Amino acid sequence: MNLPEYLVITPVRNEAQRLSATIDSVTRQVVRPKFWVIVNDGSTDATGGLIDEAAARHQWIKAVHRPDRGFRKSGGGVIEAFYDGYQHLPGGGWDFIVKLDGDLQFDADYFQSCLARFKSDPKLGVGGGMVCADVNGVWQEEAKGDPPFHVRGATKIYRRACWEGIGGLLKAPGWDTLDEVKANMLGWRTYTFRDLKLLQLKSTGSADGSWKNWVKNGRANYITGYHPLFMLAKCFSRLPDKPYGVVSAGLLYGFFSSYLRRIPRVQDAELINYLRAQQVNRLFGKPSLWG
Q: Give CA–CA dist 147/181, Å, rounded.
A: 11
Q: Are residues 48 and 149 in the same domain?
A: yes
Residue 66 domain-assigned? Answer: yes
DSSP, res 133: E
For 14-83, the DSSP string reads: S-TTTHHHHHHHHHT-SS--SEEEEEEES-SSTHHHHHHHHHHH-TTEEEEEEPP-SS--TTHHHHHHHH
Q: Is 243 among the domain residues?
A: yes
CA–CA dist 127, 158 (Å, integer): 7
pLDDT of amino acid 71: 59
Please say which residue of 200, 227, 245 terminates a domain.
Answer: 200
Cβ atoms 54, 15 nearer than 8 A: no
Number of domains making up the chain: 2
Q: Same domain for 183 and 118?
A: yes
pLDDT of the residue at 244? 86
- Contact call for residues 97 and 6 (beta carbons, < 8 A): yes
For residues 215 and 85, membership in a common domain is answered with no
What pLDDT sits at residue 35?
Answer: 98
Q: Evaluate whether residue 118 is within a structural domain.
A: yes
CA atoms of 221 and 46, how far apart (whole Å): 34
Answer yes or no: do 16 and 82 share one domain: yes
pLDDT at 204: 60
CA distance 77 to 173: 9
CATH, residue 11: 3.90.550.10
Domain shared by 276 and 196, yes or no: no
Q: Are 195 and 253 in a shared domain?
A: no
Pick the last residue of a domain from 164, 182, 200.
200
| H helix or E strand, kind and range, residue 201 | none
Which residue, 200, 232, 249, sits at the end of a domain?
200
Is residue 25 in a domain? yes
Instruction: Indicate if 257 and 186 belong to the same structural domain.
Output: no
Quick check: is 288 in a domain? no
The values of phi and psi at residue 156, to 5°, are -120, 125
- Angle in degrees, CA 168, 202, 51, rounded to 5: 65
Q: Give the gyration radius of the chain's Cα atoms.
A: 19
Per-residue pLDDT of the chain (291 residues; tens, 9 = 90+): 578 999 999 999 999 999 999 999 999 999 999 999 999 999 999 999 999 999 999 999 999 999 987 655 555 689 999 999 999 999 888 999 999 999 999 999 999 999 999 999 999 999 999 999 999 889 999 866 789 999 999 999 999 999 999 999 988 889 999 999 999 999 999 999 999 999 999 876 555 578 998 999 999 999 999 999 999 999 999 999 888 889 999 999 999 999 999 999 999 999 999 999 999 999 999 999 998
- Domain of 184, in residue numbers: 6-200
Same domain assignment for residues 174 and 241: no
